[in-house]
Structure 1
Amino acid sequence: MFDRKPTAFESCLEAASENPETEVVHGWIFRDGAWRTHAWCEFADRVIDLTASSHSMPKFDFYVKNRVTPERCRRYTRLNFFERVAETGDFGPFDKDFFFAETSEKDPLDVLGA
């Protein structure tokens, strides 16, 4: 049987389940020369990105490395994330207009006119 790796969006379910202080973030990150939709969890000044590591990392380092800015993100409380997953049967991204593609060669804020 084929064992596929969970997407970043799916991985947030595990991270959010383990820490009641977690906030789920869907955002645009810059990686491998393009803007990509991605998801991770945050608590305090730490980021949990299970697609990168099983350990948390400093939020500042994650943001700098991936060019994360608040304008490129959508945030969900842990409870709101669980509710949306239950309602939609999907792990995200939930804001389909903001996350208009999986990747973008152009800065998504320029594409959206934000």
Structure 2
Amino acid sequence: MEYKEQSFEAVIEVGSECEDCTIVHGWLYDGSKWVLHAWGETEEAVYDLTESRDPQHRDEYYKNHGVTEERLRRYSRVEFFTLLGDTKHFGPYDKELFFATTSDVDPLKK
């Protein structure tokens, strides 16, 4: 799995078009390394435009990508667009948790 910087830009479209979406920044695990990524989600679906224009089942996406709650940050649409406007960048916004684009070491144990 490669770091896809465009995932952070892609969630702007998701947040603009999906009124009930939450914007998520998180670490994905491919079995050998951790990769920083961004996506939109509802309770049931994930919208990751770097993979597909179609919604993906949230539980399957989390399982397939090694997503864990403690390695992500969620933002409401209002929070996300406020941070975007205030910082003039797409994220990630939590620089302590998201200290790099990839990591060979568990981000919680850095």
Q: Output the TM-score relative to the length of structure 2.
A: 0.92
Q: Deviations over 1:55-75 (max 9, x none)?
A: 110000110011101000001
User: Displaced runs of 4+ in structure 1, greater than 2 A?
Assistant: none
Q: Deviations over 1:20-68 (max 9, x none)?
A: 1010000000137310110000012100000010111000011001110
Match of 1:83 in 2: 82
Contact persistence 2:5–2:37 (CA under 8 A): no
Match of 1:47 in 2: 46
Give the percent of matched residue pairs that are identical in Structure 1 and Structure 2: 42
Distance in 2 (alpha carbons) for counterparts of 1:80 and 1:104: 27
Q: Output the TM-score relative to the length of structure 1.
A: 0.89
Distance in 1 (alpha carbons) for counterparts of 2:70 and 2:96: 14
Match of 1:20 in 2: 19
Residue 41 (structure 2) pairs with residue 74 (structure 1): no
Offset at 1:85? Answer: 0.4
SS in 2 for 1:37: strand
Distance in 2 (alpha carbons) for counterparts of 1:88 and 1:32: 33
Q: Count the aligned residue pairs.
A: 107
Contact persistence 2:15–2:21 (CA under 8 A): yes
Amino acid at match of 1:48: Y
SS in 1 for 2:80: helix
Distance in 2 (alpha carbons) for counterparts of 1:56 and 1:19: 11
Greater C-alpha Rg:
1
